[in-house]
Structure 1
Amino acid sequence: MIRMAVRCRPDQAELVLAELTVLAPGGVEESHGTGFVEYAIYGAEGELPDLGQVEAATGDGLVAVDSSEVPADWSERWRAFHRPLEVVAAEGGTAIWLRPPWEPRRDDALEVVIDPGQAFGTGAHPTTRLSLELLLGLYDEPASDGVGTVRGALTDLGCGSGVLAIAAARLGFSPVTGFDHDRAAISAAIDNAAANRVEATFRRLDLRRGLPDLAPLTLANLTAPLLELVAAQIDRPGRPDRMICSGLLEGERGRVVDAFAGPGLAEREFRALEGWGALLLEAA
Structure 2
Amino acid sequence: MKWKKYTIETTTAAEDYMSSMLMDLGIEGIEIEDNIPLTKEDQADMFIDFLPELPPDEGISHVSFYIEEDGSDQKQILTQVKAGLENLRKMVEVGSGMISSSETEDLDWINNWKKYFSSFTIEDILIKPTWEELKEEDKDKFLIEIDPGISFGTGKHETTQLCIRQLLKYIRGNSEYTPENKHPKVLDVGCGSGILSIVALKLGASEVVGTDLDADCMISTKENMEVNHLDAGLGTFYVGNLIDDEELQQKVGTEVYDIVVANILADVIIPMAPVIPARLKKGGYFITSGIIDFKENEVKAAIEKAGLEVVEINHQGEWVNITARKN
TM-score by length of 1: 0.78
Q: Is the 8 A contact 2:190 2:213 kept in 1?
A: yes
1:239–1:11 distance in 2 versus 1, CA, 3 Å: same
Cα offsets for 1:164-223 (capped at 9, x unmatched): 111111112122011111232222112111111213222212245336336220001011
CA distance in 1, matches of 2:306, 2:77: 43
Q: Cα offset for 1:227?
A: 0.7
* Amino acid corresponding to residue 267 of structure 2 in structure 1: P
**Residue 202 (structure 1) aligns with:** 237
**Residue 160 (structure 1) aligns with:** 192
**Residue 258 (structure 2) aligns with:** 216
**Residue 185 (structure 1) aligns with:** 217
Gaps of 5+ in 2: 35-58, 90-95
Q: Give the CA RMSD over aligned residues.
A: 3.8
**Residue 49 (structure 1) aligns with:** 73
* Amino acid corresponding to residue 49 of structure 1 in structure 2: D
Aligned with residue 168 of structure 2, among 122, 131, 136:
136
Q: Cα offset for 1:68?
A: 7.4
Aligned with residue 150 of structure 1, among 176, 182, 195:
182
Q: Is the 8 A contact 1:99 1:114 kept in 2?
A: yes
Q: Is the 8 A contact 1:52 1:67 kept in 2?
A: no
1:62–1:137 distance in 2 versus 1, CA, 3 Å: same
CA distance in 2, matches of 1:5, 1:251: 25
CA distance in 2, matches of 1:11, 1:165: 32
| 1:247 is the counterpart of 2:290 | yes
Q: Cα offset for 1:97?
A: 1.1
* Larger mean Cα displacement after TM superposition, 264-273 or 3-12: 3-12
Q: Cα offset for 1:264?
A: 1.8
1:53–1:68 distance in 2 versus 1, CA, 3 Å: farther
Alignment of 1:12-161 (within 5 A): 14=17, 17=20, 20-21=23-24, 23=26, 31=32, 33=34, 35-36=60-61, 38=63, 49-51=73-75, 57-58=82-83, 59=86, 62=97, 64=99, 71=106, 73-88=108-123, 95-105=124-134, 106-141=138-173, 150-161=182-193
1:237–1:72 distance in 2 versus 1, CA, 3 Å: closer
CA distance in 2, matches of 1:168, 1:147: 13
1:174–1:107 distance in 2 versus 1, CA, 3 Å: same
CA distance in 1, matches of 2:100, 2:296: 28
1:23–1:77 distance in 2 versus 1, CA, 3 Å: closer
**Number of residue pairs the alignment of both structures matches:** 272
Cα offsets for 1:11-41 (capped at 9, x unmatched): 59658745752546xx885746353473758
Q: Is the 8 A contact 2:170 2:179 kept in 1?
A: no
* Larger mean Cα displacement after TM superposition, 246-255 or 64-73: 64-73
Aligned with residue 273 of structure 1, among 316, 320, 326:
316
SS of the aligned residue for 2:117 comes to coil
**Residue 201 (structure 2) aligns with:** 169
Q: Cα offset for 1:72?
A: 5.6
**Residue 262 (structure 1) aligns with:** 305
Question: Radius of gyration: which is bigger?
Answer: 2
CA distance in 1, matches of 2:67, 2:228: 26
CA distance in 1, matches of 2:212, 2:321: 19
TM-score by length of 2: 0.69
SS of the aligned residue for 1:227 comes to helix
Identity of aligned residues (%): 23
CA distance in 2, matches of 1:180, 1:226: 12
Aligned with residue 230 of structure 1, among 247, 254, 272:
272
